[in-house]
Amino acid sequence: MTRVLAGPWAGQLLGDYGADVVKIERRGKGDDTRQWGPPWLGSESAYFLCANRNKRSVTVDITTERGQQVTRDLAGKADVLLENFKVGTLKRYGLDPIDLMTANPRLIICSISAFGQTGSRATEPGYDAMIQASGGLMSITGPADDENGGPQKVGVAIADIMAGMYATTAVLAALQARESSGRGQIIDVPLYDSQVAWLANQNMNFLVGGSVPGRMGTAHPNLVPYQAFPTSDGNLMLAIGNDRQFVACMECLGRGEIAGDEAFASNEVRIQNRAELITIIRDRLAQDTTAHWLDTFTKAGIPAGPINDIGEVLSNEHARDRQLVRHLENGAGDAVPTVSNPVAFGETPVTYSSAPPLLGEHTDEVLREWLGYSAEAIAELRSASAI
């Protein structure tokens, strides 16, 4: 019972791992993102297609008593309920999580919201961009102030995606716990808390060092050199992670003497003398092409890479080698491209069983399979606009 991205992302991951995922959608409109186009593939938006493979779509009107009963019946058969309604919405529609768990004590309910199920902000709505802003990410993303930059958000809804990832791991942990206890549980996954949690080393830089991190463009707060540099015909990313790599890098640049300079001999002093070192490296890299430097660095075992656009990423040789793009046929006969799950299991391979569903495509099928509803009962629910 989720829409947009965080919840659907979690549901798609669980579907990839073999779960039978039933997506409950509003009659007539469905998930908000079905309308978030262009671009479109047939009648479906590309946005919707990114997060809804390996699911079956059932349309239910939970504002009606009969639609609420259908939902209760489904929850009574389910292992897991994912939901991302505003706090209190399910209770208002007679679907209180406590009541659902009383009827099905093994049910795991994972509630994804902007600010969590408790606290002073629990009832506030939230979208990814405002979470990136208020949760600290935008304060460290973008060019530094002295580079005439300003705060920027990440180019995808990363707060939503990471909340979906946390939700997935939490559900898997709860399923494992149920093996011992026999009981389900309620899981609370806020976008805001998830955003704060995965600020990782930047959080600890503040908690340990006391200084508030700021924006540094592509540079790294704890490593130097570790950022993008211009070349004579483009750009590349250089990622030096230790002193050995730094020595090799300076040799490649024809500036081996730099590695022995006390001002640059360790990462700690390189951070202190960041500006001077970056100027030296930038001036040298600008004297030759991206291809030249990447070839040179690769041969020397130095971490460096091109700054590819998405078209290159999804069509290059590596993408073909790793099958990063696959195609699944949907109910309308369209070949839907999908980006592969990055996990490769040795014994239980990821499932690519179905393309993102058409709205309500599986309503009759699921009600028959899960609940044993007869064709007459389903027809009656449909005529009553409950499904």
pLDDT tens-digit series, residues 95-118 = 999 999 999 999 999 999 999 999
Architecture of domain 6-198+314-383: 3-Layer(aba) Sandwich (3.40)
Residue 146 has a pLDDT of 82
Band (pLDDT 50/70/90 cuts) for residue 148 is confident
Phi, psi of 335 (to 5 degrees): -85, 110
Domain 6-198+314-383 matches domain 226-307 at the CATH topology level: no
Percent of the chain clearing pLDDT 90 (strictly above): 97
Residue 145 has a pLDDT of 85
pLDDT tens-digit series, residues 217-262 = 999 999 999 999 999 999 999 999 999 999 999 999 999 999 999 9
Neighbours of 123 (CB within 10 A): 12
Average pLDDT over residues 359-379: 97
Could you tell me which residues come within 8 angstroms of residue 81 by beta carbon, excluding any fewer than 6 positions away? 1, 75, 97, 100, 107, 108, 109, 110
Residue 383 has a pLDDT of 96
Architecture of domain 226-307: 2-Layer Sandwich (3.30)
Q: What is the mean pLDDT of the chain?
A: 96
The structural domains of the chain, with segments of one domain joined by +, span: 6-198+314-383, 226-307
In the structure encoding, which two tokens stand for residue 215, read together?
């924006």
235: left (phi over 0), alpha (psi -120 to 50) or beta: beta
Tell me: cis bond preceding 97? Omega within 30 of 0 counts. Answer: no
Residue 100 has a pLDDT of 97
Of the candidates 128, 160, 233, 295, the residue annotated as catalytic is: 160
Average pLDDT over residues 131-159: 93
Residue 126 has a pLDDT of 87
Burial class (CB in 10 A: 0-12, 13-18, 19+), 210: exposed
Residue 349 has a pLDDT of 95
Neighbours of 279 (CB within 10 A): 10
- Please, which contacts does 313-321 make with residues 24 or more away whose CB atoms are closer than 8 Å? 314/339
**Amino acid (1-letter code) at residue 15:** G
Among residues 246, 286, 249, the alpha carbon closest in space to that of 268 is found at 246
Residue 316 has a pLDDT of 95
Does the pLDDT at position 18 exceed 90? yes
**Amino acid (1-letter code) at residue 289:** T
Percent of the chain clearing pLDDT 70 (strictly above): 100
Average pLDDT over residues 28-46: 95
**What is the DSSP track for 337-362?**
EEEPPS---SSSPPP---PPPPTTTT
Band (pLDDT 50/70/90 cuts) for residue 188 is very high
Question: In the annotation, is 364 catalytic?
Answer: no
Band (pLDDT 50/70/90 cuts) for residue 122 is very high
At 188, which helix (H) or strand (E)?
A: strand 186-190
Please answer whether residues 365 and 40 qualify as being in contact, where contact means their C-beta atoms are separated by less than 8 angstroms. Answer: no
Average pLDDT over residues 133-159: 93
